[in-house]
Amino acid sequence: MANKPVLAANWKLNPTTAGEAAALVQGIVEAARNQDRVTVAIFPPFLWILGVLELLEGTGIELGAQDCFWEPSGPYTGEVSAAMLAGVCQWVIVGHSERRAMGETDEVVARKAGAALAAKLSTIVCVGENQEQHDAGQAAQVVTAQVGASLAQASADDSERLVLAYEPVWAIGTGKNADPEHAYKQMRLIRDAATKLIGPKAGQNVRVVYGGSVNAANVEQYVELPQCDGCLVGGASLKADEFSTMIRSTAGVYSAAVQ
Ligand code: PGA
């Protein structure tokens, strides 16, 4: 089914060994298998992707990378291209704030998103204001500008595969999750900004998710929000029991919503 809500596990630079990665996958398989309401996608570091791919066979859990490069191949030491990923996994994240903080500009994010969408990857594009911008009342303006610039190469045809993640920088890894009302307002703005770029029908198809200190205790507050199509989870996705609980409760909220 197109456009199922998504619960995405961004493992970041974790875990350190292949054995730990395998244990983490095995710990969430059962929760993911026993439901069909939510797409569960995991994003291991590049090095673990092929090993995890084998473990995921038959589980229904989808697989993605945390970043990609826009050129398909060539003299780019250290890079992994969207074209390469497309042969191995279904998903990619681009424009995460931890990469933007290391110098990745909107222009770079737009090239990565363009290449990922062209390679037919489901693509999560992250946007979000930082603490200073939040305190200065610039949250709306910042995310609107980031969506506009980051989607410079996206079109209406990409809408089924495009996921926009509202990830306020001040909420990531801090335990300070955004107030659901603030998240809702920002997510609406993000959808509106996407709609302006790719048109009303496509704008409705795009999934908009929340990320930033989401855990088992607060995930329902977000997935219950109107037009929230899931969550991007960092820290809590590294604890198999907690992430399993989150899969179950998210699936529960979405199955209640369609009844
Ligand atoms: P967090 O990370 O859940 O640890 O805050 C979210 C993210 O960075 O995607």
Cα 85 from Cα 92, distance rounded (Å): 8
Concatenated DSSP letters of 28-68: HHHHHHT-SSSEEEEE--GGGHHHHHHHHTTT--EEEES--
Model confidence band, residue 259 (pLDDT cutoffs 50, 70, 90): low
Residue to mutate, 169, 233, 238, ligand 1, most ligand atoms under 8 Å from C-beta: 233
Give me the domains of the chain, ranges plus CATH numbers: 6-257 (3.20.20.70)
Cα 100 from Cα 83, distance rounded (Å): 22
Ligand 1 center to residue 213 CA distance, Å? 6
Model confidence band, residue 144 (pLDDT cutoffs 50, 70, 90): very high
pLDDT at 179: 97
- Residues contacting 75, CB < 8 A, separation 6+: none
Q: Which residues line ligand 1 (CB under 6 A)?
A: 10, 167, 172-173, 211-214, 232-236
Residue to mutate, 66, 214, 237, ligand 1, most ligand atoms under 8 Å from C-beta: 214
pTM of the model: 0.97
Range 118-126 average pLDDT: 98
Residues forming the active site: 96, 167
pLDDT at 1: 39
pLDDT tens, residue by residue, 4-44: 999 999 999 999 999 999 999 999 999 999 899 999 999 99
Q: Closest ligand 1 atom to the C-alpha of 97?
A: 8
pLDDT tens, residue by residue, 210-230: 999 999 999 999 999 998 999
> What are the beta bridge partners of residue 69?
81
- Residues contacting 136, CB < 8 A, separation 6+: none
Q: Which residue has the tokens 């200073």?
A: 132
Identity at 125, one-letter amino acid code? V
Q: Closest ligand 1 atom to the C-alpha of 214?
A: 3
pLDDT at 227: 87
Cα 128 from Cα 134, distance rounded (Å): 9
Q: Give, using CA atoms, the residue closest to atom 2 of ligand 1.
A: 234
Range 114-121 average pLDDT: 98
Cα 259 from Cα 256, distance rounded (Å): 5
pLDDT tens, residue by residue, 185-197: 999 999 999 999 9
Ligand 1 center to residue 73 CA distance, Å? 30
Q: Closest ligand 1 atom to the C-alpha of 236?
A: 3
